[in-house]
């Protein structure tokens, strides 16, 4: 079990999240896929902090900050989605085309 295994797992999780964030039409599901990508980045950070020379837990601290920002992002993102749902009655990204001319 080396660093490469963990980085490959992280890459695969990131790719899955990227596919979902681009392909899904439900805004909440897109937010979930963004969370998947953040988790993938966190796995890579923690793996680096365990395996690399002189890491001194810096990777784990970065992961803590990533989680903090992710929590803030989800709160604001869901508030946006809910207020959008109130205004337009849908969270379907195909139907939210306010900026289309």
Q: What's the token pair of residue 63?
A: 């992961």
Residue 96 binds another protein, judged by CB under 8 A: no
The C-alpha atoms of residue 25 and residue 59 are separated, in whole angstroms, by: 33
Size of the site for another protein (CB under 8 A): 71
Binders in 6-65 for another protein, by CB under 8 A: 6-9, 11-20, 22-26, 28-29, 31-33, 35-36, 39, 42-43, 46-47, 49-53, 56-58, 60-61, 63-65
Cβ-based neighbour number of residue 92 at 10 Å: 12
The C-alpha atoms of residue 47 and residue 97 are separated, in whole angstroms, by: 41
β-bridge mates for residue 92, sequence order: 26
In angstroms, what is the minimal distance from the CB of 1 to another protein? Answer: 4
The C-alpha atoms of residue 9 and residue 63 are separated, in whole angstroms, by: 16
Give the residue with the Cβ less far from another protein, 17 or 100: 17
Give the residue with the Cβ less far from another protein, 2 or 101: 2
In angstroms, what is the minimal distance from the CB of 17 to another protein? Answer: 7
């Amino acid at each position: 079990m080396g660093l490469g295994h963990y980085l490959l797992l992280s890459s695969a999780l990131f790719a899955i999240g990227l596919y979902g964030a681009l392909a899904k039409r439900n805004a909440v599901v897109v937010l979930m896929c963004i969370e998947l990508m953040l988790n993938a980045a966190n796995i890579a950070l923690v793996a680096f902090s365990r395996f690399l020379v002189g890491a001194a837990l810096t990777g784990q601290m970065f992961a803590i900050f990533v989680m903090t920002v992710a929590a803030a992002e989800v709160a604001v993102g869901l508030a946006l989605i809910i207020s959008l749902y109130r205004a337009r009655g849908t969270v379907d990204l195909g139907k939210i085309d306010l900026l289309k001319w």
